[in-house]
Amino acid sequence: MKVNKDQIEAHGLTPDEYKKIKEYLGRDSNLLELGIFSAMWNEHCSYKSSKIHLKKLPTKNNIVIQGPGENAGVIDIGDDDAIVFKIESHNHPSFIEPYQGAATGVGGILRDVFTMGARPIALMNSIHFGSPKNHKTKNLLNGVVSGIGGYGNSVGIPTVGGETKFNDTYNENILVNAMAVGLANKNKIFYSKAKGLNKAVVYVGSKTGRDGIHGATMASAEFDDNSEEKKPTVQVGDPFTEKLLLEACLELMKDNSIISIQDMGAAGLTSSSIEMASKGKLGIELDLNKVPCRENNMTPYEMMLSESQERMLLILDDNKEKEAKKIFDKWDLDFVIIGKTTDTNRLILNFDNKKVADIPIAALADKAPLYERKFTLNKYKKEKVEINNLKKIKIEDALLKILSSPNHSNKNWITDQYDQSVMCDTIQKSGGDSAVVRIHNKEKAIAVSVDSSALYCKADPKTGGKQIVAENWRNLISVGAKPLAITNCLNFGSPEKADVMGEFVDCINGIKEACEFLNFPVVSGNVSFYNETNSKSIHPTPVIGGIGIINDLKKITNIKTKENGNLILVVGKTIGHLGQSAFLYENFAMNNGPPPEINLLNEKNNGLAVLELIKKGIALSVHDISSGGMLVSLAEMSMSSGLGLKIYKPKKLKNFYEYFFGEDQGRYLIELSKNNLKNIETLFKKNNVFHEIVAEVQNDTFEIEGLFSLKTKDLQICNNKWYKDFNAIN
Amino acid sequence: MMKSSVIVFPGSNCDRDIAVALKKLQFKNSMVWHKETELPRSDLIVIPGGFSYGDYLRSGAIAAKSNILSEVISAGKKGSLILGICNGFQILIECGLLKGALLRNSGLKFISKDIQVKILSNKSKFFKKYKSGEVLKLNIAHNEGNYFTSKEHLDELENNELIPIKYCDKNGNIDLKSNPNGSINNIAGIFNKKKNILGMMPHPERMSDKILSNEDGLGLFLSLMN
**pLDDT, greater one: A674 or A10:** A674
Which chain A residue has its CA at the smallest distance from B21's CA?
Answer: A424
Q: What residues of chain A lie within 8 A of the CB of B139, using their CB?
A: 421
B11–A154 C-beta distance less than 8 A: yes
How many residue pairs from chains A and B have C-beta atoms closer than 8 A?
85
| Residues of A classed as catalytic | 44, 90
Selecting from A156, A330, A420 the residue whose C-beta is nearest the C-beta of B13 gives A156
ipTM of the complex: 0.96
B206–A240 C-beta distance less than 8 A: no
**C-alpha distance from B208 to closest chain A C-alpha (Å):** 9
Question: What is the pairing mode between strands B165-168 and B146-148?
Answer: unpaired
3-class SS of residue A107 = helix
Share of chain A above pLDDT 90, in %: 88
What residues of B are in the A interface, CB distance below 8 Å? 10-11, 13-14, 16-17, 20-21, 35, 49-51, 53-56, 108-113, 139, 141, 203, 205-206, 208-209, 211-212
Taking each continuous run of H as one helix and of E as one strand, the counts in chain A are 25, 28
What residues of A are in the B interface, CB distance below 8 Å? 146, 149-150, 153-156, 238-241, 243-244, 330-332, 412, 416-427, 438, 553, 729
Which residue in the list B14, B71, B86, B95 is annotated as catalytic?
B86
Chain centre distance of CA A219 = 17
pLDDT over threshold 80, residue A380? no
Distance, CA of A517 to CA of A599 (rounded, Å): 11
B51–A243 C-beta distance less than 8 A: yes
Taking each continuous run of H as one helix and of E as one strand, the counts in chain B are 5, 11
For residue A201, the surrounding DSSP H or E stretch is strand A200-205
Ramachandran sector of residue A574 (left: φ over 0; alpha: ψ -120 to 50; beta: rest) = beta
pLDDT tens digits along A161-190:
999 999 999 999 999 999 999 999 999 999
Question: What is the pairing mode between strands A258-263 and A311-316?
Answer: antiparallel
A419–B11 C-beta distance less than 8 A: no
Share of chain A above pLDDT 70, in %: 98
In this prediction, residue A216 carries a pLDDT of 62
Q: What is the 3-state secondary structure (H, E, C) of A58-106?
A: CCCCCCEEECECECCEEEECCCCEEEEEEEEECHHHHHHCHHHHHHHHH
B211–A240 C-beta distance less than 8 A: no
Q: Which range has the worst mean pLDDT, A366-370, A571-575, B119-123?
A: A366-370
pLDDT over threshold 70, residue A729? no
If you average pLDDT over residues A145-152, what whole number do you get? 97
pTM: predicted TM-score of the whole model, two decimal places: 0.96
pLDDT over threshold 70, residue A218? no
Concerning whether B205 is annotated as a catalytic residue, the answer is yes
Q: What residues of chain A lie within 8 A of the CB of B212, using their CB?
A: 421, 424-427, 438
Could you give phi then psi for residue A527, rounded to 5 degrees? -115, 130
pLDDT over threshold 80, residue A453? yes
All residues at 6 or more sequence positions from A75 whose CB lies less than 8 Å from its CB, including other chains = A63, A64, A65, A82, A83, A85, A484, A485, A523, A547
pLDDT over threshold 90, residue A223? no
If you average pLDDT over residues A37-61, what whole number do you get? 92
Per-residue pLDDT of chain B (226 residues; tens, 9 = 90+): 899 999 999 999 999 999 999 999 999 999 999 999 999 999 999 999 999 999 999 999 999 999 999 999 999 999 999 999 999 999 999 999 999 999 999 999 999 999 999 999 999 999 999 999 999 999 999 999 999 999 999 999 999 999 999 999 999 999 999 999 999 999 999 999 999 999 999 999 999 999 999 999 999 999 998 6
pLDDT over threshold 60, residue A704? yes
Residue A211 pLDDT class (50, 70, 90 cuts): confident
pLDDT over threshold 90, residue A228? no
Which chain B residue has its CA at the smallest distance from A160's CA?
Answer: B112
The DSSP letter of residue A12 is T
Chain centre distance of CA A426 = 19
Of A729, A703, A706, which Cα lies nearest the Cα of A715? A703
In 10 A of CB A274, how many CB atoms? 24
B139–A153 C-beta distance less than 8 A: no
B112–A419 C-beta distance less than 8 A: yes
In this prediction, residue A215 carries a pLDDT of 65
Estimate the crossing angle of helix A31-41 against helix A15-25, to 10 degrees. Answer: 120
A419–B54 C-beta distance less than 8 A: no
In this prediction, residue A728 carries a pLDDT of 84
Candidates B8, B9, B13, B210: best to mutate against A (most CBs of A within 10 A) is: B13
pLDDT tens digits along A114-147:
999 999 999 999 999 999 999 999 999 999 999 9
**pLDDT, greater one: A225 or A352:** A352
pLDDT tens digits along A503-557:
999 999 999 999 999 999 999 999 999 999 999 999 999 999 999 999 999 999 9
Which chain B residue has its CA at the smallest distance from A248's CA?
Answer: B10
Q: What residues of chain B lie within 8 A of the CB of A423, using their CB?
A: 16-17
If you average pLDDT over residues A260-275, what whole number do you get? 91
Could you give phi then psi for residue A291, rounded to 5 degrees? -65, 125
All residues at 6 or more sequence positions from B165 whose CB lies less than 8 Å from its CB, including other chains = B117, B118, B119, B120, B127, B136, B188, B189, B200, B202
